[in-house]
Structure 1
């Protein structure tokens, strides 16, 4: 009989699965948890909403101070749909680094932010996260005519000006949503995905990724899986968004995957939109979330906000 401590699979620094079915992670949902409410530093208010009663998937909404003025002037705000990182297995929108970043972004971009708390591997293997993120877009689209389930989006969100944003694995999810929205018409009438920002994206390369293979049963973990290797996707040219910004960091171990993604989109993937590139020197993976007060994080925020605002002019 196998010992209870016998390991079935180990993803270092992310999770360990034991043969008795136990899962251990270095992080739990209660660590760094920040409840929704008013952020005194930015004046942004947040609340949590249920995206799907069937899966119990939630999201956090961020509403900037300017929303009150926009409501009085019947001038709605753009919507940023955000997908957090964490290798498909860690974190949520409810932890302090992500809540801080999104509060700052909402205030600086004068936009509503919807951040999806998708289901995590290995308790929920892929494609659960992909399905949840698509469901979030469809849920947001219910508000296009002002008659959706959430009053903040009904009263303040302009679904004709939607931006997709993700970091790390969340960038992978954002890309998938953009492609599927175009290929399957998931956004619906009155919804326009104008731009997408991918920060330090997590995609595949020429070498099979054993961790992605484990979390996505049946995946080859490299070329041949269109979710993990965009160059393999026959629907890439149907991507909904017209402009994409790719951000990488010089010392990020995933930097070359961001480079490869950019080159695929530029040279041979069938994408006909506009591409923008930004690289942060001297920093590592998702540094902006854990060093939010640094000069480099401030510059990255300015780049993202500038790109977003450029595409959201009325």
Structure 2
């Protein structure tokens, strides 16, 4: 063991890098992936779709069981967290969380299964999530390959959400919408729960996961005024947790966004006394219920 330890060249929060170039994730996702359920009698129906075969990108789609054939609903593109190297859209943690949002808000949701480090280093997570958003947008004329999108999505009410690393990805997707555009799709809002941004000891970890990076001021990690002003949405809702090591950088993002010249409306909610992504551990916990209620209110606001 002592010899093995001597071979470590980087020991980060989520993984270790050894001299031979191998990477060992400290707490790999071991939760069993659960299947979707397309039971027409259930409160929420779900199924899995393939976004791309090369690279492999998939997603889980959720629709309210009460939705009728002609009903058009808002869409939430959800990006899970996990430090860019763990978790999945198909584990119970994220399946039941997104399912709850769909049931409470009466929306369609697409939970993205993006590539993880080390198998697929950053920027795979950003590119895969962008591919998923574009795939959904390809149904805007009602003639795409996925009937649930053709039948139910209101492309004038699209949202992007994510937690932790997924919150960072959600931000970057919104910047890309503001920069590159998404024809005939209106991105109304972005919801970030305890998002990762630069300014902590995790910066070097992100740089290691992204071989082609721009250093500590890489705008994907630490967006400057110019990039914040490009957010292609009207509203932003951000949650920060008091006992989270990302608390300070989350609040700084909010303050810098307000001063950037971006023309939208931003709101921040401080989860006092709580730790990073506490809400995912128990969806029935009082403060988790409050967070979900606020999230749902943001989605339902006209």
Verify same fold: TM over 0.5.
yes
Structure 1 segment 287-306 matched on structure 2, within 5 A: 287-306=278-297
Partner deviation per Cα, 1:177-230 (whole Å, 9 max, x = no partner): 101111111x222x11011111101001277811011011243553x2111111
- Name the SS for the 1:98 alignment partner: helix
Q: 1:221–1:228: 8 Å Cα contact kept in structure 2?
A: no
Alignment partner of 1:242 out of 221, 226, 234: 234
Partner deviation per Cα, 1:233-277 (whole Å, 9 max, x = no partner): x3432221001011111111111111001001012x221110111
- Distance change in 2, residues 1:297/1:139 (3 Å): same
- Distance change in 2, residues 1:260/1:41 (3 Å): farther
Partner deviation per Cα, 1:135-172 (whole Å, 9 max, x = no partner): 11111101111111211111111122101101111111
Instruction: Give yes or no for the alignment of 1:226 onto 2:219.
Output: yes
- Name the SS for the 1:66 alignment partner: coil
Q: Distance in 2 between matches of 1:279 and 1:300?
A: 10
State the partner residue of 2:244. Answer: 252
State the partner residue of 1:308. Answer: 299
Q: 2:31–2:92: 8 Å Cα contact kept in structure 1?
A: no
Instruction: Give yes or no for the alignment of 1:48 onto 2:48.
Output: yes
Q: Distance in 2 between matches of 1:207 and 1:258?
A: 14
Q: 1:210–1:221: 8 Å Cα contact kept in structure 2?
A: no
Q: Distance in 2 between matches of 1:107 and 1:308?
A: 12
Q: 2:193–2:238: 8 Å Cα contact kept in structure 1?
A: yes
Listed as ranges, the gaps of 5+ residues in structure 2 are none
Q: Distance in 1 between matches of 2:137 and 2:164?
A: 25
- Name the SS for the 1:279 alignment partner: strand
Deviation at 1:62, TM superposition (A): 0.9
Q: 1:183–1:235: 8 Å Cα contact kept in structure 2?
A: no
Q: Distance in 1 between matches of 2:62 and 2:202?
A: 37
RMSD: 2.2
Q: 1:42–1:104: 8 Å Cα contact kept in structure 2?
A: no
State the partner residue of 1:212. Answer: 206
Q: Distance in 2 between matches of 1:40 and 1:284?
A: 37
Q: Distance in 1 between matches of 2:132 and 2:234?
A: 20
State the partner residue of 1:107. Answer: 103
Q: Distance in 1 between matches of 2:155 and 2:274?
A: 34
Instruction: Give yes or no for the alignment of 1:92 onto 2:84.
Output: no
Structure 1 segment 117-156 matched on structure 2, within 5 A: 117-156=113-152
Q: 1:9–1:17: 8 Å Cα contact kept in structure 2?
A: yes
Listed as ranges, the gaps of 5+ residues in structure 1 are none
Alignment partner of 1:279 out of 267, 270, 273: 270
- Distance change in 2, residues 1:208/1:120 (3 Å): closer
Q: 1:246–1:278: 8 Å Cα contact kept in structure 2?
A: yes
Deviation at 1:66, TM superposition (A): 2.4
Partner deviation per Cα, 1:38-90 (whole Å, 9 max, x = no partner): 589972111111111211111111111221x3x2xx22111000011111111
| TM-score w.r.t. length of structure 1 | 0.89
Q: 1:80–1:162: 8 Å Cα contact kept in structure 2?
A: yes
- Name the SS for the 2:224 alignment partner: helix
Q: 1:169–1:201: 8 Å Cα contact kept in structure 2?
A: yes
| TM-score w.r.t. length of structure 2 | 0.92
Q: How many residues align?
A: 299
State the partner residue of 1:9. Answer: 10
- Distance change in 2, residues 1:283/1:235 (3 Å): closer
